[in-house]
């Protein structure tokens, strides 16, 4: 994250504020927002499983938590083309703070773990808006940098949140009930908002003007879907990402039950496993920030590693095998994400970037909550291993079909 800034240590903007300090405040805001979001993602499946002792209900909770954020990616993408992404990012962070406070208050008044699932689902929707706002802003803020490198550093902020988030959430959950932990996440959202405010006040970067209103509300959806279907490479990339997220979603939905239930490990082991996978992601992102890899190779390596990881988590005769598969899935997901985001930035026109990216992410990621639903519906007494194995085989089939048909398009994208 600091590598980008070190290259320009003496540049200042028109107010005399160092560009390095300005950029650091932007990435610090990203880090705190991701840290708080990751803590919520850690709490929901674990608290639900501890409360119910049911892997199926844990999977259903994951489905309820993740479905809204992916369904609304298209709407959030349209908003990013119609409104200032900075304003949308501010709204996202401040309303997440408010949602955490309201969720805890609702639990104290009425009781029930459903308040945790509900507040996490609402925060997920707001996280979707914040992510897409940053996605639209990044190419314009860092115009002079190699985009793969910018993405690597921005995702390093994400991964640092993933490293610290599970450890912090597990430690706090050992001291206090989940309501207090959620209150601490609200404070972290406040810190994220303060960092963004500092960056915004010190920055004079001009973003692309918002687009005019359409005659019909369906027009932006139609344009976005037309781009996904017709622009070279986007359709196949969407299919690959959907297959990958099938395995990724199943892994996340079952991780609490697999680690603390089937493999009989402690909550601390669960947190350490997530930390190990995040550290692997950081190593991969640091490597990608300094080494140029062709997009086609980057996508193929990431996809293959995640497929192997899914199979390992499915067979998992021991906790060590499961942990290896889990680390492969979550670690190399970052590599494939860099590939996908770089490909989108190269292909999608700037004026339609928000709406098309939002629609594509919706298509890509609906398989994540679907995976959680399948785990909830079809996991038998022996656990979700068979479901994960079947999902991994589906991912492999999608990869083979896409690889056979996509080679000419991907070669052209790499040039």
Among candidates 223, 237, 209, which has minimal Cα distance to 78?
A: 223
Q: Give the DSSP per-residue string, 294-360.
A: -HHHHHHHHHHHHHHHHHHHHH-SSHHHHHHHHHHHHHHHHHHHHHHHHHHHHHS-GGGHHHHHHHH
Q: How far apart are CA 142 and CA 154, in angstroms?
A: 11
Among candidates 368, 390, 365, which has minimal Cα distance to 379?
A: 390
Using CB atoms within 10 Å of the CB of residue 300, give its burial: 0 to 12 exposed, 13 to 18 middle, 19+ buried.
middle
Q: How far apart are CA 410 and CA 415, in angstroms?
A: 9
**Alpha-helical runs (H) found in 176-294:** 178-202, 219-230, 234-256, 267-290
User: Which residues does 206 contact at the CB level (< 8 Å), separation at least 6?
Assistant: none
DSSP 3-state of 18: strand
User: Could you read off the pLDDT tens digit of each residue along the chain, which spans 415 residues?
Assistant: 333 333 333 444 444 444 455 677 888 899 999 999 888 878 877 777 777 777 777 777 777 777 777 778 888 888 888 888 888 999 999 999 999 999 889 888 887 777 888 888 888 889 889 989 988 888 888 776 777 877 887 888 877 887 788 789 888 988 888 889 989 999 999 999 999 888 888 776 777 776 666 667 788 888 888 988 888 888 888 888 888 988 888 888 888 878 888 888 887 888 788 778 878 888 898 888 888 888 888 989 999 999 999 999 988 888 999 999 999 998 899 899 899 988 888 888 888 888 888 888 887 777 777 877 787 777 665 567 888 888 889 899 988 888 777 655 445 544 4
Vertex 242 angle, CA 366 and 281, to 5°: 100
Q: Give the pLDDT score at 406.
A: 61
Can you read off the two tokens belonging to residue 161?
């949140």
CA quadruple 56, 57, 63, 68: dihedral, nearest 10: 170
Q: How far apart are CA 103 and CA 116, in angstroms?
A: 7
Q: How far apart are CA 41 and CA 58, in angstroms?
A: 12
Determine phi and psi for 359, rounding to 5 degrees. Answer: -65, -40
Q: Give the pLDDT score at 7.
A: 35
Among candidates 238, 229, 225, 242, which has minimal Cα distance to 78?
A: 225
Backbone CA torsion sign across 251, 185, 272, 29: positive
Can you read off the two tokens belonging to residue 150?
């910018």
**Alpha-helical runs (H) found in 348-366:** 353-365
DSSP 3-state of 383: strand
Determine phi and psi for 62, rounding to 5 degrees. Answer: -65, -40
Q: How far apart are CA 136 and CA 353, in angstroms?
A: 7
Determine phi and psi for 190, rounding to 5 degrees. Answer: -65, -45
pTM of the model: 0.73
Can you read off the two tokens belonging to residue 128?
């979707």
Helix (H) or strand (E) holding 174: helix 147-175
Among candidates 177, 64, 71, which has minimal Cα distance to 118?
A: 64
Q: How far apart are CA 375 and CA 253, in angstroms?
A: 8
| Terminal-to-terminal C-alpha distance of the chain | 27
DSSP state letter for 262: I
Q: Give the pLDDT score at 188.
A: 95
Contact yes or no for 309/190 (Cβ under 8 A): no
Q: How far apart are CA 240 and CA 270, in angstroms?
A: 29
Q: Give the pLDDT score at 364.
A: 77
Q: How far apart are CA 77 and CA 141, in angstroms?
A: 18
Q: Give the DSSP per-residue string, 19-59.
A: HHHHHHHHHHHHHHHHHHHHHHHHHHHHHHHHHH--HHHHH
Q: How far apart are CA 127 and CA 366, in angstroms?
A: 16
User: Which residues does 40 contact at the CB level (< 8 Å), separation at least 6?
Assistant: 119, 120, 123, 182, 185
DSSP state letter for 257: I
């Amino acid at each position: 994250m600091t590598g980008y800034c070190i290259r320009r240590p003496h540049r200042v903007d028109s107010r005399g504020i160092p560009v390095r300090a300005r950029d650091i405040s932007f990435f610090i805001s990203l880090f705190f927002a991701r840290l708080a979001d990751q803590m919520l993602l850690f709490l929901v499946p674990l608290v639900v499983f501890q409360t119910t002792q049911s892997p199926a209900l844990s999977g259903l909770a994951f489905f309820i938590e993740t479905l809204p954020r992916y369904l609304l990616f298209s709407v959030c993408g349209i908003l990013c083309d119609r409104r200032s992404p900075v304003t949308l990012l501010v709204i996202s962070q401040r309303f997440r703070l408010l949602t955490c406070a309201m969720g805890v208050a609702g639990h104290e008044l009425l009781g029930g773990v459903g308040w945790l699932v509900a507040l996490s689902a609402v925060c997920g929707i707001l996280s979707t808006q914040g992510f897409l706002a940053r996605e639209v802003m990044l190419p314009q803020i860092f115009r002079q940098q190699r985009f793969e490198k910018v993405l690597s550093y921005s995702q390093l902020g994400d991964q640092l949140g993933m490293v610290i988030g599970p450890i912090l959430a597990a430690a706090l959950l050992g001291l206090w009930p989940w309501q207090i932990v959620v209150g601490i996440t609200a404070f972290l959202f406040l810190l994220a908002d303060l960092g963004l405010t500092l960056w915004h006040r010190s920055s004079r970067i001009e973003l692309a003007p918002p687009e005019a209103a359409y005659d019909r509300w369906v027009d932006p959806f139609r344009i976005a879907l037309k781009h996904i279907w017709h622009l070279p490479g986007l359709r196949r990339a969407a299919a690959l990402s959907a297959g990958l997220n099938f395995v990724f979603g199943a892994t996340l939905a079952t991780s609490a039950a697999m680690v603390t239930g089937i493999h009989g490990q402690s909550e601390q082991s669960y947190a350490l496993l997530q930390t190990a996978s995040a550290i692997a992601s950081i190593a991969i992102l640091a490597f990608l920030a300094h080494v140029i890899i062709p997009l086609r190779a980057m996508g193929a390596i990431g996809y293959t590693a995640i497929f192997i990881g899914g199979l390992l988590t499915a067979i998992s005769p021991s906790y060590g095998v499961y942990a290896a598969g889990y680390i492969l899935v979550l670690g190399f997901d970052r590599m494939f994400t860099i590939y996908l985001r770089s490909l989108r930035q190269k292909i999608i026109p700037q004026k339609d970037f928000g709406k098309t990216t939002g629609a594509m992410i919706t298509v890509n990621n609906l398989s994540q909550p679907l995976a959680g639903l399948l785990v909830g519906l079809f996991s038998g007494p022996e656990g979700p291993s068979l479901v994960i194995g079947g999902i991994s085989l589906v991912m492999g089939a999608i990869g083979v079909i896409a690889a056979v048909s996509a080679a000419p398009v991907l070669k052209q994208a790499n040039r």
